[in-house]
Structure 1
């Protein structure tokens, strides 16, 4: 297990920086304070070797923090045994504080690992008091520094845990939001499929009936034409049956009988219903109206219906303008309101997803957002067949 941990372990940049700082500072201290005075170092080599060893211990602090602190304590004891108790190395105090901070941040204090780490911290602090003759003030100062290092490690660990929990929560909420968006897309596509099933089945049934009617009007001398029309009639019936098998399952069980298909010809009824709820709704038609394919007219109607519904729910608008503009190659549907709500015209949630799906179904584009004048606009552009 230790081999596996050692193989997976890589020192961080902070570990390398702290290790170099301890080792270099210890070497500077060992050779820079060499001299015969009591406050100087007589033999710098034990202190220099101890500084380099302490730097290596600090380098591995993230893998075994409590063990590293015990090893550092042993290094300090060995240097003291070789060089004598006359000089107190500053690098030992620095590296001890670093490892105390690391031990505190490695585990919860109330856990077994945390209690073991606390015991190592107390042992290291007791060893610090044996490196030189200390008065009460020096003992208290050392306790303050060790306590601050230990407390800062606990606070850092808790902050890291909180940040990790928030990140996991944000990731979970993002996944749930994406899942809800996918669900909304699936629901809207199912709804579109059900409506298209009604439209296509109706039109194909009409084609089949007309073909059958023409076939019956032909005389016996038009046998070839009658056979061709009969084949068309049979293909139509098979197409309706296939549509029923493929798309009929999308209907909700126990659903009410389908209402007449909506289209732009029912737009006045929709606007009247919305106007009764509060805002003033005005309809403008530009260009020459023309017959539209049933599916395209249904999608345009649903876009307007969804935009008006979102205005009622979110926008707190007093005025809504609905504009239908018939151009030679396109139909532009615009819904503008003067609302001040958070979602002034259905900018978020599943409403916008549904409008985009319906517009893209016919190769069109949809945009929604505030205008320079402070209003909110939903614009859907549907290409029209030539």
Structure 2
């Protein structure tokens, strides 16, 4: 797995939570009612929460559970009736609940996320001073945080889908233009060739015009050769469908093999026609995983397994890497590669799931499952 770095937004949120917690701890320190009796411990908790927020997008459920554990520790050691809840605890919970809701995941992972959210909310209800109004306010804010995360996830999926549809539309438009270009140029060059032949015939058999006839024959040959080349380069688009997934993978694997990575493509199950959008998503998952294998894994080989299961297309990319980084990882930032987040988005776009992790025997594996819709 490649070297992970938090984003600037993650760092900014972590700094805000930690800074606000330290200010709150020492700004309200004192022995009286509503004051912080142990500011050093509360400030340490705020710093810990800030650190927990850094990998929130990489481990959304894990970071929420870690924050819940930290809150439970503070509940036992620090919180009392005089100072029941630090503000940064509530803010950091809202941030992580939103993050859990926004992450693309399969049914099991989403169920785990909901349980983590409920656990965080339940812990807050054990703090001193909670009444019905406080419980309802907490439920409303955490519900809004989780719901806004779900809306963000759906919007991201729609954006990815629109981008893929735009790419397919652009490819179709380029094909249409190429066909029209073929028709126009072939027609005009053929007409020029025929007219040239007509001029040559008009010259007759006069020996004094032999040079002119030779030049016109050359123009005719060039015209016919041009039409033939256009037919081969552009006219073939009329009869060739969009490349299949296996054709795309063969074209992808060839330069990687030339670069020294032994890429093996294995298929199981009877192949079947796939929707263009699904083909593009599956291909991008394989492309991203293989690219990161080359960049990070130092692997001698990788295997791409395409399984046409009865109800789904299963795509697995596994490598034999010996380094800490491997097929599935990328920063997830901007650029050509979308990393694990992008691959999960592509799988979730079709109602599928993606798993990634180290293999027991060494190396790394990325497995994406794309369910077949009723019309697929």
Counterpart in 2 of 1:92?
A: 89
Task: Map Cα deviations across residues 132-177 of structure 1 (whole Å, 9 max, x no partner).
Answer: 2312221122111111111111111111211222222223222322
Separation (CA, whole Å) in 2 of partners of 1:137 and 1:118: 23
Contact 1:194 1:247 in 2 (8 A): no
| Superposition deviation, residue 46 in structure 1 | 0.9
Contact 1:57 1:72 in 2 (8 A): yes
Point out where structure 2 has 5 or more consecutive residues left out of the alignment. Answer: 232-376
Q: Which residues of 2 match residues 160-175 of structure 1 at below 5 A?
A: 160-175=156-171
User: Which of 120, 124, 137 does residue 128 from structure 1 map onto?
Assistant: 124
Root-mean-square deviation (CA, aligned residues, Å) is 2.6
Contact 1:33 1:41 in 2 (8 A): yes
The answer to whether 1:142 aligns with 2:138 is yes
Separation (CA, whole Å) in 2 of partners of 1:16 and 1:248: 61
User: Which of 48, 51, 63 does residue 46 from structure 2 map onto?
Assistant: 51
Contact 1:51 1:91 in 2 (8 A): yes
Q: Which residues of 2 match residues 1-386 of structure 1 at below 5 A?
A: 4=1, 7=3, 9-86=4-81, 87=83, 88-107=85-104, 111-207=107-203, 209=204, 212-213=205-206, 215=207, 229=208, 232=211, 235=214, 239=218, 242=221, 246=225
Query: For the structure 1 residues 175 and 135, does the alpha-carbon distance in structure 2 shift closer, same or farther, using more than 3 Å as the test?
Result: same
| Superposition deviation, residue 241 in structure 1 | 6.9
Query: For the structure 1 residues 48 and 230, does the alpha-carbon distance in structure 2 shift closer, same or farther, using more than 3 Å as the test?
Result: same
Counterpart in 2 of 1:218?
A: none
| Superposition deviation, residue 84 in structure 1 | 4.2
* Structure whose alpha-carbon radius of gyration is higher: 1
| Superposition deviation, residue 250 in structure 1 | 8.5
TM-score normalised by L of structure 1: 0.54
Query: For the structure 1 residues 41 and 205, does the alpha-carbon distance in structure 2 shift closer, same or farther, using more than 3 Å as the test?
Result: same
Q: Which has the higher contact order (CA 8 A, sep 6+)?
A: 2
Point out where structure 1 has 5 or more consecutive residues left out of the alignment. Answer: 216-228, 253-386
Counterpart in 2 of 1:221?
A: none
Give the length in aligned residue pairs. Answer: 229
Contact 1:194 1:251 in 2 (8 A): no
Separation (CA, whole Å) in 1 of partners of 2:20 and 2:227: 80
Contact 1:194 1:250 in 2 (8 A): no
Separation (CA, whole Å) in 1 of partners of 2:147 and 2:112: 16
Query: For the structure 1 residues 96 and 236, does the alpha-carbon distance in structure 2 shift closer, same or farther, using more than 3 Å as the test?
Result: closer
| Superposition deviation, residue 52 in structure 1 | 0.8
TM-score normalised by L of structure 2: 0.56
Runs of 4+ in 1 over 4 A off after TM superposition: 247-252
Contact 1:204 1:240 in 2 (8 A): no
Contact 2:13 2:50 in 1 (8 A): yes
